Amino acid sequence: METTNEPLISIIRYNGSDYNFNASATVDDCLACRNKEGVTWINVNTASDLSLLKSLGESFGLHDLTIQDITNTNHRVKYEDFDRYLLIILKMLDFNTAERSINTEQLSIVFGSNFAITFQEFPGDFFGPLRDEIKIKDSIVRKMGADYLVCRIVDTVVDNYFGTVEDFGEVIEEKEDAVVANPTRETLSSIQSIKKNMMQLRQYVWPVREILSDLSKRGSPLIKESTLAYFRDVYDRVFEAMDMIENTREMVSGMIDIYLSSMSNKTNEVMKVLTVVATIFIPLTFIVGLYGMNFDNMPELHESWGYPAILIFMLTVAAGMLAYFHKKHWI
């Protein structure tokens, strides 16, 4: 995602029968839709152009704090009811394949009875299929109001969470072999970075659950009875996403255990090699040292069978040791 300086505004207006799309609209175009019938979806592809936001805000009667919240792209996921409109702030997530981290983009949704305005940080989004669906005359979205549109937008964002979590799941499975084969500190670092990412994900996804619970249970005059069931459905989806995140976290914890056990295994293996080699050769070295002594009175030294006998004896000792270690599964 690259930033552009040029703020892009697109307007989609539709009702059961009509459909208009204006790919590069101005604030005045937005204002013109203010009181028209049907649903108006204004998408603003930057959240940093303060003057643009202010004029839009004035047109649609947004509170100063709403403008501030939209501008602050590090804002927490939240939902606020301003009577005439609702503000929902979400995070759109994108798995960064190169760095194996999460790209975050804030999506602020403001919606009233007949309009929905979405503010994105960067151009490019996942709403293509939704836009295509709006073009189809008989689609459900064309028959419903702005509340359903928002429900679908949130649904799209939530659906995207699954993909992000799954991508992490794949990274974890890749790492699993590395952890066993060659556990290095870098492996631990990257496991912990996944853990950190999971925590971040949780921070983004968990409050969405609460938002949807509020929207679907307490309701709001801006949300029709018939749309509530759809919000409840997205609410279920968020729970599924949370389950996936929890499972992934558990996998990461399991990996740290495996990592530590692998480390311990490595030390064990090093120890075993040392022990096997030392235990075989230290006694043998003693024996050869014994017959290296310079005592005058060592009759074995002067027998012709002495040297071969001692060699055979040492071979026997070594073979016995090897058999012992084999029995112990050390070699």
Residues 212/238, Cβ–Cβ less than 8 Å: yes
Nearer Cβ to its own copies, position 270 or 323? 270
Asked if 243 is part of the footprint of its own copies (rule: CB under 8 A), the reply reads: yes
What are the residues whose beta carbons fall under 8 Å from the beta carbon of 149, sequence distance 6 or more? 39, 41, 111, 116, 141
Residue 178 makes contact with its own copies by CB under 8 A: no
Q: Which stretch binds its own copies (CB under 8 A): 27-35, 46-54, 71-79, 96-104?
A: 71-79
Residue 90 beta carbon to its own copies: minimum distance, rounded to whole angstroms: 14
Residues numbered 201-220 forming contacts with its own copies, rule: CB under 8 A = 203
According to the binding rule CB under 8 A, does residue 320 interact with its own copies? no
Binding of its own copies by 10 (CB under 8 A):
no
Q: Nearest distance from residue 313's CB to its own copies, in Å?
A: 12
d(CA 267, CA 279): 18
Q: Which of 20, 182, 220, 316 binds its own copies (CB under 8 A)?
A: 182
Which positions from 149 to 168 touch its own copies by CB under 8 A, shown as an x/- string?
A: --------------------
In whole angstroms, what is the distance from residue 13 CA to residue 20 CA?
A: 5
Burial class for 51, CB neighbours closer than 10 Å (0-12, 13-18, 19+): exposed
Q: Which stretch binds its own copies (CB under 8 A): 22-30, 121-129, 146-154, 241-249?
A: 241-249
Compute the C-alpha angle 257/260/264, nearest 5°. Answer: 135
How big is the site for its own copies, counted in residues (CB under 8 A)? 83
Mode of pairing for the β-strands spanning 39-44 and 78-81: unpaired
C-alpha 312/C-alpha 292 separation (Å) is 17
Q: Does 50 bind its own copies (CB under 8 A)?
A: no
Which residue in this structure is represented by tokens 């090093």? 270
Least distance CB 21 / its own copies (angstroms): 27
3-state DSSP helix/strand/coil % of the chain, to nearest 5: 60, 15, 25
Residue among 8, 23, 9, 15 nearest 134 (CA): 15
When asked if residue 65 is in the footprint of its own copies (CB under 8 A), the reply is yes
Single out the residue of 83, 166, 173, 233 in contact with its own copies (rule: CB under 8 A).
Answer: 233
Task: Of 251, 245, 254, give the one whose Cα is nearest residue 201.
Answer: 245
Applying CB under 8 A, among 4, 26, 68, 103 the residue interacting with its own copies is: 68
Stretch that binds its own copies, among 37-45, 118-126, 208-216, 258-266 (CB under 8 A): 258-266
Options 38-46, 90-98, 118-126, 259-267: segment touching its own copies (CB under 8 A): 259-267
| Binding window for its own copies (CB under 8 A); candidates: 5-13, 101-109, 117-125, 178-186 | 178-186
What gap in Å lies between CA 309 and CA 317, rounded to an integer? Answer: 12
